[in-house]
Amino acid sequence: VMGALFIIPFLVMLVLSLCGGRAWLLEHFFEGEYSEGATSRALPCFWHPEKIQILQYTTGEVAGRTIETYAAFETTAIVEYVETARGGNRDGGHVAREEAKSELQPGSAVRLFGLKTAPQLNGCQGTCQTWLAGRWRVLLQNGEMKDVKPANLAVIRKFSVTIPASIGTNVSVTMDSHGTLNGHGLPFEASFDGSSIVAHSGPREGQAWRKAGYWRVDFVSKVLIAFAIVGIQTMFVATVLPPGVISAHSARLPLKAVFLVDGSGSVTPQQWKTGRRANQQFVSDFAKVYGSDEGKLNFGFVQFSDAAFVELPLTSDLDSVTTRLGSMTQRGGDTNFADALGACQTMLDGYTQVADN
């Protein structure tokens, strides 16, 4: 369930982009502040969701500076770094949504939708002219006149673009489902791709104005893609390794352990008692984790001093393990652990555990 919740936002955005909601999506990203104009280049599809790369500013105080060096190499002014962290240059201008009347009237910019007899016109934009016999006569952008029912017309949001150095001030525009901007005051053909306004004609052809901040299609898409990847991984793990499932392959393996106990004279009586209590606690903790199944836990003890002494051969009888720990006495003498390691290896190699475990 958690994996699906991580994936759903990306799927919703994808469906909106592919199934007629692209215009609505772009309109909700269009409003905001924009950078100074800059040259740009189109990026191949494998750079998705990035569509263009901003190269060099062409207007404002930053004209002539490349995007990479503007805030990284050519200046150390703290304001530049703060600006970058906030989403980039914001000196170009802004786009604001105009107050729109929800009721249709002569002059209203509209988009056609839900047409069954002429589905090829769905998504086309036009302007309401006159009301005739229960329909609006609409002048389409291609010059055709169509009489359309009000139920098949949606009022198009208008935006005011203010980028004084290149586009103008308070230029009223609308946007179609492809992101193409339409307005009598536009000095050149332009479109909005969800992250930048891009010029397609005139002396500024190829230039772009990047939307500042992080409310952009490219950034939001990256975040949603990252969440979707996490969601897919979560669902995969939950399917392959469901929690709480125990099988012969996933069950905890048996434990065989031999404790090497230093019983030489260098260990004080108090240290000997402390070490013995610690070993008892180790055994108790392992028993809590592994449970009481026979053969799961197998312990043995080898004490070393002048020589190696097998205090308890490997066994799964935890009662005998606990009893021997409590009665084990310190032998004293030198610290000869080489023989003890050999005895330990011999016990582990030669021990056959009991039961199926």
Q: For residue 129, which amino acid is it?
A: Q
The answer to whether 190 touches 174, Cβ cutoff 8 Å, is no
82-98 mean pLDDT: 76
Residue 257: helix, strand or coil by DSSP?
Answer: strand
Q: How confident is the model at residue 119 (pLDDT cuts 50, 70, 90)?
A: confident
Residue pLDDT, tens place only, 179-207: 889 888 899 999 999 999 999 999 999 99
Q: How confident is the model at residue 243 (pLDDT cuts 50, 70, 90)?
A: low
Percent of the chain topping pLDDT 70? 88
Residue 70 pLDDT? 45
Tell whether the model's pLDDT for residue 84 goes beyond 60.
no
Tell whether the model's pLDDT for residue 79 goes beyond 80.
no
The CA-based angle 66-68-72, given to 5 degrees, is 115
The CA-based angle 97-222-237, given to 5 degrees, is 140
Residue 85 pLDDT? 57
Residue 208: helix, strand or coil by DSSP?
Answer: strand
Tell whether the model's pLDDT for residue 353 goes beyond 70.
no
37-60 mean pLDDT: 88
157-178 mean pLDDT: 88
Residue 242 pLDDT? 64
Residue 161: helix, strand or coil by DSSP?
Answer: strand
Residue 104 pLDDT? 87
Residues sharing a CB contact under 8 Å with residue 273, sequence separation 6 or more, in sequence order: none
Residue 249 pLDDT? 47
Cα–Cα distance for residue pair 27/159, rounded to 1 Å = 9
- The model's pTM is 0.58
The answer to whether 98 touches 158, Cβ cutoff 8 Å, is yes
Q: For residue 122, which amino acid is it?
A: N
Tell whether the model's pLDDT for residue 33 goes beyond 90.
yes
Residue 271 pLDDT? 93
Q: How confident is the model at residue 72 (pLDDT cuts 50, 70, 90)?
A: very low
112-131 mean pLDDT: 88
- Compute how many other C-beta atoms are within 10 angstroms of the C-beta atom of residue 4: 12
Residue 207 pLDDT? 93
Whole-number mean pLDDT of the chain? 84
Cα–Cα distance for residue pair 172/100, rounded to 1 Å = 12
Could you tell me where the beta strands, DSSP code E, fall in the chain? 32-34, 38-42, 52-57, 93-97, 109-112, 125-132, 135-140, 145-148, 153-155, 159-163, 168-175, 181-182, 190-192, 196-199, 207-210, 255-262, 297-304, 308-315
Tell whether the model's pLDDT for residue 294 goes beyond 90.
no
Residue 111 pLDDT? 86
